[in-house]
Structure formats: C-alpha cells, structure tokens
Amino acid sequence: MKKMLFFILLGNSTLLFSQETNKRLTLSVAPAFPLGKWAEKEQPIESAGYASSGQSFHLRYTNDFSANWGWFAMLKGQRNQLNADKLSDYHNNNPFPVGGLVVGPGPGPGPLPPAEVDIENWSFKKKNWMTATAMGGFYRIIPAGKRSVFLPELGLGLIYAKLPDFLGTAQDGNRRASLTRKGKHGVGLAYSVGLNARHHLNAKYDIFSSLAYFGSSAVKFNKVSTTRFYTDGTTVAQTVRTIDHQQVFASLNLYIGVGIKL
C-alpha cells in the first residue's frame, strides 16, 4: 500500500512538473534600428559607424522552469547597411586629406607634405555591417489574460561582428580621389534588455513579439588599413594608414515570430 501511494505521488509530481515546464522553439524577424556612435553619420569614417536601419532574425529556445520564471538561449543575426549616401555627403562637404608618398610625376618620389583639398562628386559602394550574437538569460513570466503572458528579460552573451570594407571615388575635372578600407572581424561582449509577449494560439503554437535593446562592449578590429589616393593630373599621391578600430554596437529591434511547444 505504501509503495502504491509512493508511486502515485511520484507520478502526480512528475505530471505537475511537466505541466509547469514549457519548452519552446521560436523563430522571429525584426527591423533593426542602430543607435549611438554606430548610427553616427556626421564624422570621419574612423569615428562614426554610418549604419542604417536593417534586418535581424533570431532563433530562441525557452524553458519556463516555474510558474514565474524561465530561461532562454538565443542565436541572433543582424545586417545593417553602410549609409553610402551619407558618406558621400560628408566627403562632398569636408576637405579630403592628401599627402604621403608621391608615386607619380611631379617633384619625384618622396614624402608629400600633408594638405587638404576640396573635391566633390563622391560615390561610395553600398556595403553591410554584419553581426552574429549568441546569448542566454532569464525572463519573468507575468500573466496577461487567459492566453497571453508578458516576459521581461535580461540576456548576456558574445557578439561577432564584421567591419565592412568600402570603396569611395570622386572626380572633379582632372582631379581624382579614392578612399578604400579593408574589412575586419572582431568579437566582444553583448547584452540585451527586452519586453516580450507570448500569445497562445493553441496547445502547440503561439505568437511571439518583442521590443528589445541590444548593446555591446567596444568591439576591437585590429590593424584596419585605410588608403587615400589623390591625383591632380600632375602629382599622384597615396597614403596608407593602419590603425586599430573600435565600435560599440547598439540597436533597437522589434520582433514578431512564431513559437512551437516542444
């Protein structure tokens, strides 16, 4: 009798735990709006990100391990286009630094004193910032009716980012200039603060929505080479500058997706 009672209680407790533990896989997409220095478009390319609004998607695994709390693991990819038009506007309205090594006719090979020239008609190729994030964290479960819950969450993880390469060219009469940068990759810490909502469609599927802020530490890109070229038809000069570049990533993302109960 005691053994039977033990197994009944054990079975009931297991059933109760399985009812309280809801595991889901959710796929979501979102517009991604860059913030801060990453979105700055009024400074030289070495200190501004020139990122435009883009697209993001994420795949989430969630586990409601109690009636009030859950944990999640997430993979997130994001693409934000480099704003080529704003880059062109900046260089059309600001002097272009020239100097370095004379490689053509003129005074002959040797150093050219630093100078600045006004040259217009800049055009930049469109490139993309690319980031990938792996993150985990916890969320609070707040009931909001029979079928819906709010899920405020905090997350922490790693971000892998690609610094976009680019090529800009300008021609004004017999004067020509170009600005070239080679892309690099970097890794940093990432975090998120989000307010999520989950609406149950049935026992298997639900609708997921989220307003989330994503941020990062300063991601370092080592030995980034930027080449400035200029010619006026007589003198041809080229400067190659190699520096370490840093970028802090921040964006506001509005997700909508579908979840499936596992």
pLDDT tens-digit map of 174-189:
889 999 988 899 999 9
Token pair belonging to 100: 């370095």
* Residue 246: count of CB within 10 angstroms of its CB: 17
pLDDT tens-digit map of 59-99:
999 999 999 999 999 999 999 999 999 999 999 998 888 76
In whole numbers, what is the pLDDT of the chain averaged over residues?
Answer: 86
Name all domains of the chain by residue range, CATH numbers in brackets: 22-261 (2.40.160.20)
pLDDT tens-digit map of 227-238:
989 888 777 888
CA distance 258 to 244: 41
Average pLDDT (198-226) is 94
